């Protein structure tokens, strides 16, 4: 078994060999060599190993520029995300980049900072660059209608609930309604009755977002009223926003015994605020984060959280993207990733 790494040739001193030469040496057709290189189509394992051995021996590197000219598209994928410092988004993007690199594609990464004007400009740039496809990672700002249907699009994270039909489109997202239900139901099971729901999209999402729907369903199933004073709107997923929001509630005399946070960073900020006001976690107030990032494991107390399975989200996204680029029919256009709740010391 051989591993082939496609990379830019920086030295002119290498042995030059063409795909036709490889076919001749391997005793197969040029089409078969192409199928082996692109890892698609039918060929025997013996043929694959023979072709890969020659590729390894001669250090063959496909001419991506020539290929791009033939297919009239760059051998590149645009990846758009809203917050490059968000660990979940960054983890998914890195997984995508590494998988695409192994497939011979470069990655062009764009950070919108949650600004629609950035997303619009990046869309124009990606179209001008003639990329092979675009992957949106938890990006609400990009309007997919800006892209012509011949450009494959994969949307990771939120279900955009597209009203129109579109060719070359796939979705990969976590069942956020169930995830939020799991968070809320866990807090209720642990004895919480006055649950604070935290969101950085509250003004836009109440009654419509998957997370809020899951929270509301768990409360209703347990015959608990939603106290609107405990629907907390923060301006980000960061710890500082959560710290300020929790501090304001405590100092206003509003009581709560459970906190459903919008991120693990927010959960850390909430715990800092609770500790600063002599409220113990989990004895007085239980806290659950979201995304199961590194801070949730290393914080004291360690933070219960929702595992979002970034490796699976990126895997599905790349598989869908490559299938569309290669003109294959997708088995399904929606991949729903099941969440998992991880219980730690904060509950």
User: Which of 87, 129, 131 is closest to 105 using CA atoms?
Assistant: 131
The domains found in the chain, sorted by start residue, are: 19-62 (no CATH), 72-174+310-339 (3.40.50.2300), 177-307 (3.40.50.2300)
Q: What is the mean pLDDT of the chain?
A: 87
Cα 235 to Cα 173, 200, 207, 262, 341: the distances in Å are 23, 5, 19, 11, 25
Distance CA 155, CA 142 (A): 10
Q: What per-residue confidence (pLDDT) applies to 63?
A: 55
pLDDT band at 67; cut points 50, 70, 90: low
Rounded percentage of the chain residues whose pLDDT exceeds 90: 59
- Our measurement of the distance from residue 26's CA atom to the centroid of its chain's CA atoms, rounded to an integer in Å, reads 40
- Our measurement of the distance from residue 41's CA atom to the centroid of its chain's CA atoms, rounded to an integer in Å, reads 29
pLDDT digits (tens, 9 = 90+) for 149-171: 889 999 998 655 555 567 899 99
CB 251 within 8 A of CB 155: no
Q: What is 54-83 written as a DSSP string? A: HHHHHT----HHHHHHHHTS-SEEEEEES-
pLDDT digits (tens, 9 = 90+) for 294-322: 999 999 999 999 999 999 999 999 999 99
- Write down the residue that tokens 């599905």 correspond to: 316
Residue that wins the pLDDT comparison between 72 and 190: 190
Q: What per-residue confidence (pLDDT) applies to 268?
A: 97
Distance CA 173, CA 228 (A): 28
pTM beyond 0.95, yes or no: no
pLDDT at 200 over 90: no
Q: What per-residue confidence (pLDDT) applies to 259?
A: 98
Q: What is 179-208 written as a DSSP string? A: HHHHHHHHHHHTT--SEEEEESSHHHHTTT
Low-confidence winner among 63-72, 96-105, 162-171 (lowest mean pLDDT):
63-72
pLDDT digits (tens, 9 = 90+) for 116-160: 999 999 999 998 888 999 999 998 888 888 888 889 999 998 655
- Convert 244-265 into a string of H (helix), E (strand) and C (coil): HHHHHHHHCCCCCCEEECCCHH
pLDDT band at 37; cut points 50, 70, 90: confident
pLDDT at 5 over 50: no
Rg (CA), the chain: 24
Distance CA 329, CA 90 (A): 29
Q: What per-residue confidence (pLDDT) applies to 11?
A: 36
Q: What is 275-300 written as a DSSP string? A: HHTT--TTTT-EEE-SB--HHHHHSS
Q: Long-range contacts for 219-228 (Cβ within 8 Å, ≥24 apart)? A: 219/184, 219/188, 219/195, 221/185, 222/185, 222/188, 224/188, 224/193, 224/195, 226/197, 227/194
């Amino acid at each position: 078994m051989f591993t082939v790494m496609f990379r830019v040739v920086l030295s002119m001193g290498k042995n030059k060999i063409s795909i036709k030469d490889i076919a001749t040496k391997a005793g197969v057709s040029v089409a078969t060599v192409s199928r082996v290189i692109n890892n698609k189509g039918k060929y025997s394992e013996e043929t694959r190993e023979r072709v890969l051995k020659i590729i390894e021996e001669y250090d063959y590197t496909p001419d991506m520029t020539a290929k791009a000219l033939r297919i009239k598209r760059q051998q590149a994928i645009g990846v758009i995300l809203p917050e490059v410092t968000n660990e979940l988004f960054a983890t998914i993007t890195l997984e995508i980049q590494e998988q695409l690199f192994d497939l011979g594609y470069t990655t062009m990464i764009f950070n919108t900072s949650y600004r629609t004007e950035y997303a619009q400009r990046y869309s124009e740039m990606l179209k001008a660059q003639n990329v092979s496809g675009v992957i949106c990672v938890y990006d609400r700002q990009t309007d997919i209608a800006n892209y012509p249907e011949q450009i494959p699009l994969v949307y990771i994270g939120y279900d955009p609930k597209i009203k129109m039909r579109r060719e070359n489109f796939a979705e990969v997202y976590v069942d956020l309604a169930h995830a939020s239900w799991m968070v809320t139901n866990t807090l209720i099971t642990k004895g919480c009755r006055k649950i604070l729901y935290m969101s950085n999209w509250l003004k836009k999402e109440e009654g419509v977002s998957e997370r809020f729907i899951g929270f509301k369903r768990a409360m209703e199933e347990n015959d608990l009223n939603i106290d609107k004073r405990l629907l907390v709107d923060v301006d980000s997923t960061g710890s500082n926003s959560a710290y300020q929001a929790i501090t304001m509630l405590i100092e206003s005399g509003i009581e709560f015994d459970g906190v459903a946070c919008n991120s693990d960073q927010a959960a850390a900020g909430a715990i800092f605020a609770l500790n600063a006001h002599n409220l113990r976690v989990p004895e007085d107030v239980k806290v659950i984060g979201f995304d199961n990032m590194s801070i949730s494991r290393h914080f004291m107390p360690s933070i219960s959280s929702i595992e979002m399975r970034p490796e699976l989200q990126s895997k599905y996204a790349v598989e869908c993207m490559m299938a569309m680029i290669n003109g294959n029919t997708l088995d399904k256009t929606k991949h729903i990733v099941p969440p998992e709740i991880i219980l730690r010391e904060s509950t």
